[in-house]
Structure 1
Amino acid sequence: MTALALDLGTARTRLLLSGSTAIKERPSAFGEPGTRRWPVRHGMVADMPSCVRLVRAALSDAVTGQHPPLERVLLGVPVAASRLDRRAAYAAVSSAARCRVTIVEEPLAAAVGCGVDIADPRP
């Protein structure tokens, strides 16, 4: 299964493709100086059409023709994201990636990435 972890950051967008150890990243802003667009602010979608464009560009950088099509995207969202913010991020990523999207809060994603056993009853 080809899966991808995605972090839509205000300054940088980061991706990690399953089976890879290299994190791909790109600026979250695009456009010419003076007309730059920042589709993500404070880790949340601020401009939906531009965010879809950003995710498509990031995916085209990370997923090349040699990779099978994506089956799943794990999307990190800030803990402070409201239900509306989560819905907007989900819609932007699912529209761009055209596959199943799972949302996870960023601290939980970081803990799992560090090898913390989240099933352990001890805090």
Structure 2
Amino acid sequence: MLKRLPSSTSAYGDGNSLENRNVAFIQSVSTQTDSVTVDSSTSNDNIRFTQPDYVRPVIEECFEELEDKLKPTFYHFCSQILTLLHEQSDKIELINRQSILVEKLMQENKELKKRLDRLETMRFGC
């Protein structure tokens, strides 16, 4: 997929500059060689530039630091979610038990009404 770079982007590599060109697209990104190939829409030449060697360790260090800071928060968040799910599960189980009890009570109520109707019929029928 091609991504558009702003027209003011300046990239130097192989002695070329994107500074005065209208549009440029990132054609490919290689994480193994830390390079980006850019295709300019106003020219047929491809410009390839690489990041300096010192950039990668700095980026990796930033990611490690970010990971160290986010890991406890992430674990805490997951723990809270699990606790909430467990609580909800308990509530759902309670609701299911209560609905079964209500169903049984309704059935008993129907049976008692039938018995009452029979008794009233017998009483008035005599």
TM-score, reference length from structure 2: 0.19
The structure with the largest alpha-carbon Rg is 2
Which structure's residues are more often strand, by fraction?
A: 1
Higher RCO by CA contacts (8 Å cutoff, separation 6 or greater):
1
TM-score normalised according to structure 1 size: 0.19
Which has a greater percent of helix?
2
